[in-house]
């Protein structure tokens, strides 16, 4: 039995509301509370939406883009996948082709200069949990990195934590890990016995030493869609996969599941690149994503937790146990420290690249 199967009957209101960026709270921004802004007529106008592809972007198209197009008459063009280097190059060249982009909280906090301020005369952020409102972006989902596994490959003795993922004798074969310095530093340290509450500041040398022990057993992936395929095909038995991506293949019948132990939560934000050609349309799109119905549809499609508390009343019972923000799931994990990565991302990414090539 995996952790999520134990959570049936959990209160819809019993979810974590972690305060992240007090300095960027609505109160600090002077937004206040007000009713949702009405949709405007944007017939004949368009914007380009870039996200992470696969089932995730398809769900966003259904939950956010299609309702926005129906309500306003605007056209939303899908593009991607999101790539941080590509995004920076676009903005620094003064020629972004994306109008709204889905980014992680760590990327947002570390690269605030790349994004337009939100216009809160257009974007009514008052329905959201204010922990997920930033001057440069609107939280759209809360998700987590989880220990995932293919039950056909590993059998009944499934991995329970990151130490098991690093144990090549207990779980022989390849493992799928994210080709990104975060969260691999956190994962390696927890696998080496560091307690969740003692992770930060990260002991980087210890993390790389731990990663050395499994380097030859890893298939590194850069897209979550590719990671899903690795697990579904049984090319890997264990590894890291996002909770929503695991839910997606699980509900489609694949022998893939997860554990919530030592999960690493994060938040995705929708942002507008500085100089975006259709920034005004993008501001109205941001406003539409706040809607509770749309956020509930997103959660029911792919099991990523909403940032609008009202959406929880519309989440299906069989989806709730898969959400990273239920109290039981949140208690087993950590929230990634975006401020740490704001201060260390550039240096750590360089070291990550050097380690990969060594």
Structure-token match 């799931």, residue found? 329
- What's the mean per-residue pLDDT of the chain? 89
* pLDDT at residue 36, as a whole number: 52
Query: Region 279-287: what's the mean pLDDT?
Result: 97
28 pLDDT higher than 80: no
Q: How many CA atoms lie within 13 A of 109 on its CB side?
A: 24
2 pLDDT higher than 90: no
pTM recorded for the entire structure: 0.84
* pLDDT at residue 340, as a whole number: 95
238 pLDDT higher than 80: yes
Q: Over the stretch 121-165, which tens digit does the pLDDT of each residue have?
A: 999 999 998 989 999 999 999 999 999 999 999 999 999 999 999
């Amino acid at each position: 039995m995996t952790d999520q199967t134990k959570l049936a009957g959990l209160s819809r209101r019993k979810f974590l509301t972690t305060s992240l960026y007090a300095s960027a709270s609505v109160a600090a921004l002077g937004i206040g509370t007000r009713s949702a802004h009405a949709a405007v007529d944007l017939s004949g106008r368009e914007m380009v939406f870039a996200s992470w592809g696969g089932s995730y972007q398809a769900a966003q198209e259904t939950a956010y883009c299609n309702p926005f197009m129906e309500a306003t008459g605007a056209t939303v063009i899908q593009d991607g996948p999101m790539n941080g280097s590509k995004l920076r190059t676009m903005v620094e060249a003064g020629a972004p082709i994306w109008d709204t982009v889905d980014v992680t909280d760590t990327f947002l906090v570390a690269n605030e200069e790349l994004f337009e301020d939100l216009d809160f005369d257009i974007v009514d952020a008052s329905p959201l949990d204010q922990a997920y409102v930033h001057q440069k972006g609107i939280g759209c989902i809360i998700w987590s990195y989880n220990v995932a596994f293919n039950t056909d490959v590993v059998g009944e003795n499934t991995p329970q934590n990151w130490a098991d993922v690093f144990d090549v004798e207990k779980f022989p074969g390849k493992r799928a890990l994210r080709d990104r310095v975060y969260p691999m530093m956190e994962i390696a340290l927890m696998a080496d016995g560091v307690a969740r509450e003692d992770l930060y500041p990260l002991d980087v040398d210890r993390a790389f030493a731990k990663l050395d022990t499994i380097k030859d057993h890893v298939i590194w992936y850069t897209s979550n869609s590719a990671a899903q395929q690795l697990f579904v095909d049984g090319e890997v038995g264990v590894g890291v996969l996002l909770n929503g991506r695991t839910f997606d293949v699980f509900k489609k019948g694949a022998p893939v599941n997860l554990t919530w132990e030592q999960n690493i939560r994060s938040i995705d934000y929708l942002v507008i690149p500085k100089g975006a050609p259709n920034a005004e349309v993008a501001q109205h799109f941001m406003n539409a994503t706040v809607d509770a119905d749309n956020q509930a549809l997103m959660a029911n499609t792919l099991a990523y937790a909403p940032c609008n508390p009202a959406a929880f009343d519309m989440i299906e019972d069989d989806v709730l146990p898969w959400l990273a923000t239920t109290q039981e799931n949140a208690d087993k994990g950590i929230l990634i420290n975006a401020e740490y990565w704001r201060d260390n991302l550039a240096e750590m990414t360089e070291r990550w690249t050097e380690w990969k090539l060594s």
